[in-house]
């Protein structure tokens, strides 16, 4: 397999894992808020956002590489 394609595939797998972690934290946060355990719910909500930001940064880097090599 082409190394560039393999690197792109790994990047998207990594982003998917980060987003899966974000989803898990959101579900945990929902349970804590439902049980009125606000500090723990908030901690998981922030953790979810951290995972989302990590995925965004990875995808942004891929988009920027793509932009550098694309012709309009």
Q: What's the pLDDT score for residue 21?
A: 98
- First and final C-alpha spacing in the chain: 27
Distance CA 28, CA 47 (A): 10
Query: What's the pLDDT at 71?
Result: 83
The tally of CA atoms less than 13 A away on the side-chain side of residue 49 is 6
pLDDT score, position 1 = 67
Q: Domain segments of the chain: what residues?
A: 14-69
Q: How many helices (H) and strands (E) does the chain have?
A: 2, 0
List per-residue pLDDT tens for the chain, 72 residues long: 699 899 889 999 999 999 999 999 999 999 999 999 999 999 999 999 999 999 999 999 889 988 988 888
CA-to-CA dists, residue 47 to 21, 52, 62, 63, angstroms = 9, 9, 23, 24
Q: What is the pLDDT of residue 41?
A: 98
């Amino acid at each position: 397999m082409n190394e560039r394609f393999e690197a792109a595939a790994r990047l998207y797998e990594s982003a998917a894992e980060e987003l899966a972690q974000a989803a898990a934290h959101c579900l945990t946060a929902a349970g804590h808020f439902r049980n009125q355990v606000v500090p723990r719910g908030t901690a998981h909500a922030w953790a979810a956002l951290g995972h989302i930001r990590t995925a965004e940064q990875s995808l942004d880097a891929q988009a920027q590489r793509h932009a550098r090599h694309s012709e309009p």
